[in-house]
């Protein structure tokens, strides 16, 4: 399978759906909307996912549309005579008296293929506002019977800060009215505690977590110490409180960044900066080696045992690597499929090794096992935490997770040498190290165990 990321499969009956849409002539009125075969297949996916205890959160992009969106197409055709003339940020209408086309409009960040919806001090203006609300209700409760169990389970809001807060306050209230359990997560790259306090969102994509993780586990010349890392994690708890911190998406990478595996190969950058050959000709595009995979595993071990809702970007668990867009959006590697090797450098004239592509079963099992450990120990999911500074070195992070009578000690060693961990646990109960399976008995309230180079330990009291 070649590495292109354009999929020409648009549902079970693409040509039939196109014909149905052309005949339906959908507008902003929900009464004109139809369910395509692709829509129906997605509703079936929701049903099957729910039957397996899986929730579905979809992406909402309410700041802009594409040029093929029905309202913008009508504007292109009818200009200021269009009933949607107030939907977009129009800079200039075409003058039919001249041979030139003077029509101009604002595009998202100047991208003309993504025309921006019009806003005022209250956010998206009336017209597109009602359309967005109705579309969201449709996916939250598809048959409109007041029971949202057949609908999606939440929204991830793209570029949320680029729409004024009054819009989100009204929109958030609408979502909770339709489904009080629906999750709302915003894309905000810095402190979003104000958004949560103002009841505009339930959580955010925790890129502050991501930056700190990269600064400790990946960076070399710019690396922060273990105590500084712990301080940054404590700062997150101070900003959000433990309850909300446990809801935040603890990201490592996403469709907007280079992949975690490639971050490891390219240390000492600001997060999501110089994240590919276009911006950084020296960006290393090769496949990670075993030592670099060990760093990836160490990072994932921390992510899956720390506070927050861990988000794994598709394919990381299968061994995928890649720079920022489009290299981070390659087709998923599946175990039953064969893929072409990567042999060409994106920059003409630069060389690179020929890297074999394939499903990494060992890495996949590593992720599976850590997820299982998290599920089996509630203190790792929603317990409080504190960093054990007296046991930490510059390269060794040690923390304690607590929930009721359940206690875990965790240590993460970024150095290339084994480290002896000594803990004052002040109790006599036996601890089990979950990863290697060892049993550790405290002596006079103290516990001692080796933490492997670029490795970790997970200690749980029995």
Fold held by 70-116: Oligo-1,6-glucosidase; domain 2 (3.90.400)
DSSP string, 376-412: H-HHHHH-EEEE-GGG-BTTEEEEEEEETTEEEEEEE
Task: Give the total residue count for the chain.
Answer: 462
Query: What pLDDT sits at residue 362?
Result: 98
Query: What CATH number does the domain located at 383-461 have?
Result: 2.60.40.1180
Cα distance between residue 450 and residue 419, in whole Å: 6
The per-residue pLDDT for range 172-186, each reduced to its tens digit, is: 999 999 999 999 999
* Predicted local distance difference test score (pLDDT) of residue 171: 98
For residue 185, which of 247, 140, 118 has the smallest C-alpha distance?
A: 247
Above 60 in pLDDT, residue 414?
yes
CA distance 361 to 91: 54
What pLDDT is attached to residue 131? 98
Q: Is the pLDDT of residue 5 over 70?
A: no
Q: How far apart are CA 171 and CA 134, in angstroms?
A: 10
CA 125 to chain CA centroid, Å, is 29
Structure tokens belonging to residue 88: 């977009």
370-386 pLDDT tens trace:
999 999 999 999 999 99
Q: Classify residue 168 by its DSSP letter.
A: H
CATH 3.90.400 segments of the chain? 70-116
Of the candidates 37, 42, 36, 34, which has an alpha carbon nearest to the alpha carbon of residue 58? 42
pLDDT tens-digit map of 51-83: 999 999 999 999 999 999 999 999 999 999 999
Q: What pLDDT does residue 1 have?
A: 45
Q: Where in the chain is the domain with CATH 2.60.40.1180?
A: 383-461
Confidence of residue 12 (pLDDT cuts 50, 70, 90): confident
Q: What is the pLDDT of residue 8?
A: 64
3-state secondary structure of 371: helix
Q: In this structure, how many other beta carbons lie within 10 angstroms of the beta carbon of residue 305?
A: 24
166: β partners: none
Domain with CATH 3.20.20.80 in the chain: 14-65+124-371
What CATH homologous superfamily does 14-65+124-371 map to? Glycosidases (3.20.20.80)
């Amino acid at each position: 399978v070649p590495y292109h990321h354009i999929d020409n499969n648009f549902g079970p009956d693409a040509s039939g759906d196109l014909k149905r849409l052309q005949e339906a002539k959908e507008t902003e009125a929900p009464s004109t909307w139809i369910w395509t075969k692709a829509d129906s297949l997605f509703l079936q996916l929701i049903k099957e996912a729910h039957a397996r205890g899986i929730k579905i959160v979809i992406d909402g992009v309410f700041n802009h549309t594409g040029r093929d969106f029905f309202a913008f197409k009508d504007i292109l055709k009818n200009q200021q005579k269009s009933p949607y003339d107030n939907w977009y940020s129009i800079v200039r209408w075409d003058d039919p008296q001249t041979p030139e086309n003077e029509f101009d409009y604002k595009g998202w960040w100047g991208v003309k293929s993504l025309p921006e919806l019009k806003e005022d001090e209250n956010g998206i203006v009336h017209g597109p506002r009602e359309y967005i609300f109705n579309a969201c209700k449709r996916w939250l409760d598809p048959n409109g019977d007041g029971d949202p169990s057949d609908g999606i389970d939440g929204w991830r809001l793209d570029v949320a800060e680029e729409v004024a807060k009054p819009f989100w306050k009204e929109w958030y209230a609408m979502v909770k009215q339709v489904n009080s359990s629906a999750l709302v997560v915003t894309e905000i790259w810095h402190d979003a505690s104000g958004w949560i306090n103002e009841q505009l969102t339930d959580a955010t994509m925790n890129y502050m977590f991501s930056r700190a993780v990269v600064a400790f586990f990946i960076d070399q010349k710019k690396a922060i110490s273990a105590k500084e890392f712990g301080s940054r994690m404590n700062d997150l708890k101070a900003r959000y409180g433990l309850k909300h911190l446990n809801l935040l998406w603890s990201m490592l990478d996403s469709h907007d960044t280079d992949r975690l595996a490639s971050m490891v190969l390219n240390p000492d950058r600001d997060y999501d900066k110089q994240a590919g050959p276009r911006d950084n000709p020296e960006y290393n595009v090769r496949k990670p080696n075993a030592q670099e995979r060990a760093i990836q595993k160490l990072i994932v071990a921390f992510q899956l045992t720390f506070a927050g809702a861990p988000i794994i970007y598709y394919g990381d668990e299968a061994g995928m690597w890649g720079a920022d867009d489009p290299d981070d959006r390659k087709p998923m590697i599946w175990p039953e499929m064969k893929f072409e090797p990567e042999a060409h450098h994106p920059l003409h004239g630069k060389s690179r090794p020929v890297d074999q592509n394939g499903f990494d079963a060992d890495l996949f099992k590593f992720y599976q096992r850590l997820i299982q450990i998290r599920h089996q120990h509630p203190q790792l999911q929603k317990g409080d935490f504190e960093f054990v500074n007296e046991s930490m070195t510059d390269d060794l992070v040690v923390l304690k997770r607590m929930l009721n009578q359940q206690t875990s000690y965790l240590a993460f060693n970024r150095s290339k040498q084994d480290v002896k961990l000594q803990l004052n646990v002040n109790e006599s109960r036996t601890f089990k190290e979950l990863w290697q399976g060892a049993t550790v008995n405290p002596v006079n309230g103290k516990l001692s165990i080796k933490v492997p180079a670029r490795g970790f330990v997970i200690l749980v009291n029995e």
